[in-house]
Amino acid sequence: MKKFTVMVLAALFLFSAAALLYAQDKAKDEVIAIATEVVKGQNFKLEEVNIVYDEGGKLWNEKVGYLAGEDQSPNHGILRKGFLKNYKIVFFDFKEPLPDIWVFIDKDSNEVLEVYREAR
């Protein structure tokens, strides 16, 4: 009986973990879709672009990390509404000569907070 209970609990755990991963992937896909519509709305063609969901803002932090010595503000002046830790980032890595684009989306409401277009 103990083995059966352990097996049932293990199966429930695996099912729960799989369901959580599916929900996270679906949420990422939704955020990417929102960001894609915003970028398309700015008349960019998304034919030669790599679209990346920036997990935890790692790419963004690398991008602006070099500014840390010059600019002490947490968002380096990019977000008009001020620094919010509560956002998701989608990065549009365009092939030359188009500028790359970063779309910042509120984690709770999925509202687009800012679209940052790099200078070339």
Give the tens place of pLDDT for each residue, 24-80: 545 889 999 999 999 999 888 888 899 999 988 888 878 776 545 555 555 555 665
Q: What is the tens place of the pLDDT at every residue in 74-105?
A: 555 566 555 556 789 999 999 878 888 999 99
> How many domains does the chain divide into?
1
* Residue 36 structural domain: 25-117
Residue 71 lies in a domain: yes
Pair 91, 51: CB distance under 8 Å: yes
Residue 8 lies in a domain: no
Residue 42 lies in a domain: yes
**Tokens of residue 65, six digits:** 């990390």
Residue 14 lies in a domain: no
Pure H helices in the chain: 2-41, 58-65
pLDDT of residue 63: 78
Residue 69 lies in a domain: yes
Residue 2 lies in a domain: no
Task: Indicate the pLDDT class of residue 120, thresholds 50, 70 and 90.
Answer: low
Burial of residue 46 (number of CB atoms within 10 Å: 0-12, 13-18, 19+)? exposed
**Tokens of residue 64, six digits:** 């602006």
Determine phi and psi for 51, rounding to 5 degrees: -100, 125
